[in-house]
Amino acid sequence: MKTPKAFQAIETRDLTYFRDLVPQSAIFIDAENLEKYGHDETEDLQFNPQVVLKPASADEVSKILNYCNARNIAVTASGARTGLSGGALPLFGGVALSTENLNRILEIDERNLQATVEPGVINQVFHEACKEKGLFYPPDPSSWGSSFIGGNLALNAGGPKAVKYGVTNAYVLDLEVVLADGSIINTGARVLKNSTGYNLTQLMVGSEGTFRNHYQSHFSVFVLSKHNMLFCCAFLRLLKPARAVSAIFQGGNHSQWNGVYGTRQLTIP
Ligand SMILES: Cc1cc2nc3c(=O)[nH]c(=O)nc-3n(C[C@H](O)[C@H](O)[C@H](O)COP(=O)(O)OP(=O)(O)OC[C@H]3O[C@@H](n4cnc5c(N)ncnc54)[C@H](O)[C@@H]3O)c2cc1C
């Protein structure tokens, strides 16, 4: 088997290129920042990058990736670094490509129940922006107050609402993706039914950053239901809660449980 070519260390000429490309406020080489972007929430692992870049457009991301690809410099996509599987760790040094400055909600289309967001938008910020318009974006990892949509996509995140509503992959219609060589592609379309070619969108979701940078994401969103209730049940035996979930689903249209608590009786075997 062919051994992969070792990555190039960043040299002064590379920093000069990056400085010409992004503003001074979007490039970091100080020890504090290199340390900060050298870890996520995975145990105590630390792999510092040599430089942190915070591009603010797909064009900048594209130029960075194109350059690093040609120079064989390692690039690691970095969201909010709340991941628990080490994906955002710059294992080979090089560039930590932070999406912090790509943090705009570009559109919430109330008529078509769709939204377009950049990867650095915090999940909760997006959720609340949808809520203000009477809409609902369900994926809710417990890290939703800080984790980014781009990171949620890369890890196919989901939380307490996953059983009923599914996780991130259920809501992505299309991704604008910057590939490793800097080219920009769209993976899908803004329609619910799309059978044109392979499903590249779902190939990207859950890819843990291995395909480099996702960019704008088109999501489908729901109309917010009138009632939203979280309730806590105590079970004496471990098997009962699992059976309760099955009983709710088997009891018919579980979405009815949204608004008619008290009118149905649940028998747990
Ligand atoms: C307290 C806590 C609670 C959590 N709860 C849950 C939970 O309930 N459910 C759940 O599923 N997960 C949970 N997680 C893990 C969760 O998946 C992450 O918090 C979140 O999805 C990661 O988002 P991030 O922005 O922090 O991504 P990061 O950690 O920064 O990155 C994660 C991966 O995505 C890649 N990546 C990031 N942005 C991009 C991008 N724009 N393009 C391409 N690749 C990118 C990175 O390279 C890395 O591989 C939790 C984590 C914590 C710390």
pLDDT tens digits, 207-229: 887 776 666 777 777 777 666 77
> How far, in Å, is the centroid of ligand 1 from the Cα of 83?
4
Other Cβ atoms within 10 Å of 246 Cβ, number: 12
Q: Which atom of ligand 1 is nearest to the CA of 152?
A: 21
> How far, in Å, is the centroid of ligand 1 from the Cα of 68?
24
Evaluate if residue 3 carries a pLDDT over 70.
no
- Residue whose CB lies within 8 A of the most ligand 1 atoms, among 155, 205, 213, for a mutation test: 155
What CATH number does domain 105-223 carry, 3.40.50.300, 2.160.10.10, 3.40.50.620, 3.30.465.10? 3.30.465.10
Taking a C-beta distance cutoff of 8 angstroms, is the pair 207, 169 a contact? no
DSSP per-residue letters across 127-173: HHHHHHTTEE-----TTTTT-BHHHHHHHT---TTHHHH--GGGTEE
- pLDDT at residue 258 in the model: 45
Evaluate if residue 248 carries a pLDDT over 60.
yes
Ligand 1 binding pocket (C-beta < 6 A) is 40-41, 76-84, 87-88, 99, 119, 141-143, 147-148, 150-152, 154-155, 157-159, 208-209, 213-214
Interacting residues of 203 by C-beta distance below 8 A, sequence separation 6+: 187, 211
Evaluate if residue 41 carries a pLDDT over 90.
yes
Q: What average pLDDT does the structure give for the chain? A: 88
12-98 placed in CATH 3.40.50.1470: no
Domain residue ranges of the chain, discontinuous segments joined by +: 12-98, 105-223, 229-269
